[in-house]
Structure 1
Amino acid sequence: MGENKRLRFPFDVEEIEPEEKMEIKRLFNYPKIDLVRVGPKGYVMSRPYIEHAENIYNLPIRPTDVYVASFQRAGTTWTQELVWLLANDFDYETALSVPITHRYPFLEVFMLFAEWKNDCLKNIDKVESIEKKEKLLKMLEVNAQPVTEKLAAMPSPRFIKTHLPMSFLPPNIVDTAKVIYIARDARDIAISNYHHARLFKIFDFAGEFKDFWELFINDRYIQTPYFEHVKEAWNMRHHPNMLFLFYEELKKDLPAVVRRVASFLGKEVTEKQMTRLCDHLSFDNFKKNKAVNYEDMREFDVISPNETFIRKGKANGWRDYFDEDMTRQAERWIADNLRGTDLRFPHMTS
């Protein structure tokens, strides 16, 4: 996409209604959360995203690029690691030593860390050691800077993570690069996002799960509405460069999904390679893997001591959180959002 073909970002930005903003502010301790709605579907985004939306929409795509896309907390990190190891000939040495955040630039992470970065830089002289100060600056470089320039300088093949809906990405993305999208039961997504919002102090969610659930289903949390996000990718699933996966499929039969991903990437997997890969990706090993579990961020006071990034890795974990009223409400909400579509989650009977 050359400069002479630069496209205007096609979606308008709307302010969130004042009463909705008050409810959001009441439930999040971090005082600088500033959300807006974007486009006809009203995707909720952090305001710093708007400044760079057009740059992302015009990002030059390479035929060798591999994107792992999802609504956040759908099993993205698990899928990233699976994809990276298949594409890089099972290079476990690198996978275990180089953080996944360095192997996969996160396309829009800057919008979450923009204000946090400013707060950190204001107080950087208070950091007690030169080593910690350098680590902090490196973390901010990875998470708070727009990645479009970094991507331009990266060698191919590039592996890129995004939680943006497909309509916010370059229009030629699936015609040029490979995209793996992973979806998950909306109820489990809500629970995992609730813990995620409690984990990262850039959110610092202060309410109970029921409070979060109401935000989530009423499209007042970042990147909601959830089903619109999933349906955009689902409608592209027959494109030869799009592979659509369900988290529940990975949980039920990981080797089968590995074979699908390998075929999509043009790779072959021996039984021996499969055994080691599935062991590497097992929940217990994944939770302990410092290259993927974000535990290194604790020293920067970015994450809460009471939560972990890799949590339980369950399917149908929502049953531990929902009472009967919430269960019925969720069933109606899911049915309403799936009506008129052929999208069905593999573990659901209707």
Structure 2
Amino acid sequence: MKNSLGIILIAAAAITIASGGNNPSTSRSTAPNTTRETKSTFPYNITAVDPDVNQQLLKDFTGPKAGFVQVGPSKYIFPQTFKKHAEGLYNLQSRPDDIWVASFPRSGTTLMQELVWLIANDFDYTTAQNKSLDERFPFYEFCVLIHDTIAGREDEDSKKFAEKLLKMIGGPGYEHISNIKTKRFIKTHLPFSLMPPSVMKKKAKVIYMARNPKDVIVSFYYFHRLHRTMRNSVDFKQFWDYFEKDLVNWSPYWSHIKEGYARRNEPNVLFLYYEDVTKDLPLAIQKVAKFIGKKTITEEQVQKLAEHLNIENFRKNTAVNQQNLSKTDNSFIRSGKSTLKGWPKEYTDEIISRVEMWIEKNLADTTLRFPQ
């Protein structure tokens, strides 16, 4: 996933493959199991990244071998395999009782997935502990990165784990998820414009997580280093260069988050800031419970879930931590901290100046503001 093009792959690898098995005890979906609807042609242009840029990305990031493409007016970047799956991803028939968790990578997605799944499944901690989050909450577009992910794994343990997940998934996310008979929980890093139109048409629930880019950049950098999908010689400054130029997976960051923000008043969309969620987990739990239609939730349930999601406990949770695809002992779940004031230690004065101008420029045309 070399998104920075290299980054693209990287994110996919570590984000892990989401298989879509849901809790067998979960009530069956109220939507029809089969819905015949005319497929739509994918409406956006898909173009190859500039050859020189592509070569530099292939040099700095390990993973994809065929290069990258840019999609639509915003030029969202993906591995070239996106072309193969674009129409399938766009044409999934969503159901009214689907729950999607969407975000730009490294924005609190995993935390929200676990929070949502446990509330919706009557706080079934036993299943949550014994079945990986990837099985309970499939990663929708993982198929875009699948072959590159396996190719990028050099050690046998990681290869075997990836192959096991692929077998468990049984095919592209849009095919696998279509066959799930129970209530569906779906994770995606696609922006709203690239998600299936049926999601909004059928009023499926979408929780969009937004996080301050200062922390997203740092987290995404270490994500790549954790999974060694980026050459050791690429330092934080170089990574920031790629991020600023919208050359990392699922970028441009600002186009992505502004699409989510523009949907914040839709009745089936809950737009949340990661900073607010982690600052007051009990409040976030109650807000999400109300949004997904959980009529009763006790104070005891709220406090137990908040403790379960506490960063110190969450980092030790093997059901959500993707160490199987990592080549180190470090955790997929990092510090979970938010830099409301000041700057993470990775930033030099020169980078801070550039990031401040970048943020100011991109906030000029929106009321979007991150918690202070």
Q: Under a length normalisation based on structure 2, what TM-score does the superposition of the two structures give?
A: 0.84
Tell me the equivalent position of 1:293: 321
Say which SS state the counterpart of residue 305 (structure 1) adopts: coil
**Residues 101-158 of structure 1: CA deviation (Å, up to 9, x unaligned):** 00011111122221343677xx9xx969xxx997553223357941122112112310
Tell me the equivalent position of 1:69: 102
Letter of the structure 1 residue corresponding to residue 172 of structure 2: P
Say which SS state the counterpart of residue 37 (structure 1) adopts: strand
Aligned residues: 335
1:312 aligns with 2:335: yes
How far is the alpha carbon of 1:3 from its aligned partner?
5.4
- What runs of 5+ residues in structure 1 fail to find an aligned partner? none
Taking structure 1 as reference, are residues 145 and 199 closer, same or farther at Cα in structure 2, changes over 3 Å only? Answer: farther
**Residues 263-297 of structure 1: CA deviation (Å, up to 9, x unaligned):** 101113211111100110001110000100012x1
Taking structure 1 as reference, are residues 94 and 210 closer, same or farther at Cα in structure 2, changes over 3 Å only? Answer: same
Residues 253-272 of structure 1 mapped to structure 2, 5 A cutoff: 253-267=280-294, 268-272=296-300
Say which SS state the counterpart of residue 89 (structure 2) adopts: helix
Letter of the structure 2 residue corresponding to residue 165 of structure 1: P
Asked if the contact 1:30/1:201 (under 8 Å) is kept, the reply is no
How far is the alpha carbon of 1:2 from its aligned partner?
5.8
Q: In 1, Cα distance between the equivalents of 2:162 and 2:253? A: 33
Taking structure 1 as reference, are residues 109 and 258 closer, same or farther at Cα in structure 2, changes over 3 Å only? Answer: same
Asked if the contact 1:112/1:202 (under 8 Å) is kept, the reply is no
Range with bigger deviation, 196-205 or 247-256: 196-205
1:167 aligns with 2:193: yes
How far is the alpha carbon of 1:51 from its aligned partner?
0.7
Say which SS state the counterpart of residue 237 (structure 1) adopts: coil
Tell me the equivalent position of 1:191: 218
- What runs of 5+ residues in structure 2 fail to find an aligned partner? 1-33
Letter of the structure 2 residue corresponding to residue 117 of structure 1: I
Tell me the equivalent position of 2:164: 138
How far is the alpha carbon of 1:16 from its aligned partner?
1.1
How far is the alpha carbon of 1:231 from its aligned partner?
0.6
**Residues 33-59 of structure 1: CA deviation (Å, up to 9, x unaligned):** 621111110111111122111111110
Q: In 1, Cα distance between the equivalents of 2:101 and 2:51? A: 35
Q: In 1, Cα distance between the equivalents of 2:159 and 2:207? A: 36
Asked if the contact 1:112/1:144 (under 8 Å) is kept, the reply is no
Taking structure 1 as reference, are residues 258 and 133 closer, same or farther at Cα in structure 2, changes over 3 Å only? Answer: closer
Tell me the equivalent position of 1:209: 236
1:245 aligns with 2:278: no
Asked if the contact 1:198/1:307 (under 8 Å) is kept, the reply is no
Taking structure 1 as reference, are residues 334 and 133 closer, same or farther at Cα in structure 2, changes over 3 Å only? Answer: closer
Q: In 2, Cα distance between the equivalents of 1:13 and 1:183? A: 26
Structure with more of its chain in helix, by fraction: 1
Identity %: 40
Taking structure 1 as reference, are residues 136 and 233 closer, same or farther at Cα in structure 2, changes over 3 Å only? Answer: closer
**Residues 147-193 of structure 1: CA deviation (Å, up to 9, x unaligned):** 12211211231000000111001113123210001010011111111
